[in-house]
Amino acid sequence: MELTREEESALKGEQGEIMQMAYRILLATGEATDADKLIPIEWAHLSGVNYNTIGDAGEEFLSGISKNARVKVKTTLNPMGFDIDNVSNYGLDDNFISKQLSIRKSYETMGVTPSFSCIPYEIFDMPKEGTQVSFAESNAAIHANSFDNLKTNKESSFSALASAITGKSPYSSLRKEDSPNITIRMKVDNPNELTYGMLGFFAGKVGNNSVNISGVGEMDRRSCKALCGGMGTSGTCAKFLFGDGDPGCEKVDFDKKEMNEIHDELNTAEKGDLITLGSPQLGLEEISDLTGKLKGRSFKKRCMIFCPRTVKEQARKIGYTNELERAGCEILADCCTCLTPLISKDNIDSVTTNSIKGAYYLKNSNGVDVNLKSLSQIIKDETR
């Protein structure tokens, strides 16, 4: 990768340790993506916020760099571990809470907007078509490239952080006009969001940088998010395009057989002790839809709903929150099903969810069994 004189000087450490670290990360990112230069980006979205995932090493690292590091562009933030409004209901220890608040403080000191959301594409105004951004949070990077006409790598926590501090990112193929060399033919009839989550999980396993997907009709927002969440979990793939692609593309079918294999891999329980909705977090549209579906019904067991704080506040004003709480839902802002410390195998054996991404991490990180069901099936089976 060609660096300008100023970038070389930063890499040598002449602009301080923080800049040197950031450029070392950008250099590794550039080499990994075969980029030939750095280009400006306008927005960075950071992951690595939840104390449950980054631990003491991450907390200390952020605390250390926050003394000197400042972000150069608009920078937003992924979910953390809890909702401060109701954290006392969930038995988290004081150490977790104080470490999480320290992480929050470090990011705020660096000038980051504390949005605590994995769906930046749903709660912020979108920049104009073709804008270069750096989104960590895999579902958001895929959504940005595939639905929002933005351009980003499937950034890591550190490459997005380095982009936030420098305002730059390597000019990789995903930032240009990338054309996939593989087409996935969707063959499953009557898909719901769970099917799309599994399709995404499959696509992530077979694709590299990007994939074409053919045979899908109109998708609602829930299904789009499920597709992005699934794909981000299983692979390195950062973009999908709808259509058959070039005639020379390798063709791979996603039929019942492929779907059942993924279902068997992630579905390990016949029923759940509780229900979680929101991985990715629910937006206002989904909250509104859910409120409608729950009219006159109540959950027979606990149901945790994860959303951004701005969505929780809007939902309260419109009156959705009252309705959802009446139906037995617990509404949590600032956090997410994915990697939540609020569900522990010490008191829960299994969780019902419609999220493939949530299922993967509940199983592997939280160590609980997962029962996969679509939202409509959850409403049918788990409410009265």
Give, in order, the Cα–Cα distances in Å from 364 to each of 79, 96, 233: 19, 20, 12
> Between 50 and 276, whose beta carbon lies closer to other proteins?
50
Radius of gyration (Cα) for the chain, nearest Å?
21
**Which one-letter amino acid corresponds to residue 71?**
V
Burial per residue of 216-248, b for 16 or more beta-carbon CB atoms within 10 angstroms, e otherwise: beebebbbbbbbbbbbbbbbebbbbbeeebeee
**Binding of other proteins at residue 53 (CB under 8 A)?**
yes
Query: Would you count residue 233 as binding other proteins (CB under 8 A)?
Result: yes
Please, what is the minimum distance in Å from the beta carbon of residue 19 to other proteins? Answer: 14
Pattern 251-270, other proteins, x by CB under 8 A: --------------x-----
Q: Residues binding other proteins: what is the number (CB under 8 A)? A: 47
Nearest one of 57, 54, 35, 280 to 147, comparing CA atoms: 280
Nearest approach in angstroms of CB 119 to other proteins is 15
Interface stretch with other proteins, choices 176-184, 218-226, 295-303, 359-367 (CB under 8 A): 359-367
**Nearest residue (CB) to other proteins, 157 versus 166:** 157
Asked if residue 65 binds other proteins (CB under 8 A), the reply is no
Single residue of 10, 25, 224, 227 touching other proteins by CB under 8 A = 25
Asked if 337 is part of the footprint of other proteins (rule: CB under 8 A), the reply reads no
* H or E stretch at 241: strand 239-242
Say how far residue 118 (Cα) sits from the centre of its chain: 5
Residue 279 makes contact with other proteins by CB under 8 A: no
**Cβ proximity of 185 and 254 under 8 Å:** yes
Residue with Cβ nearer other proteins (44 or 284)? 44
Contacts of 359 (CB under 8 A, 6+ apart): 266, 267, 353, 370, 372
Site string for other proteins, 187-206 (x = CB under 8 A): -----------------x--
> Nearest approach, Cβ of 86 to other proteins (angstroms)?
24
- Helical residues (DSSP H) of the chain, grouped into ranges: 5-12, 17-32, 51-65, 94-109, 120-123, 138-146, 157-166, 193-206, 221-234, 256-266, 284-293, 309-318, 320-326, 356-361, 375-382
Rule CB under 8 A: is residue 28 a binding residue for other proteins? Answer: yes
93 secondary structure, DSSP code: -
Q: Which residues within the stretch 72-111 sit at the binding site for other proteins (CB under 8 A)? A: none
Q: Bridge partners of 250?
A: 182
For other proteins, which stretch binds (CB under 8 A), given 91-99, 218-226, 230-238, 370-378?
230-238
Binding site for other proteins (CB under 8 A): 21, 24-25, 27-29, 31-33, 47-48, 50, 53-58, 60-61, 136-138, 141, 153-160, 162, 204, 208, 232-236, 265, 339, 360-361, 364-365, 367
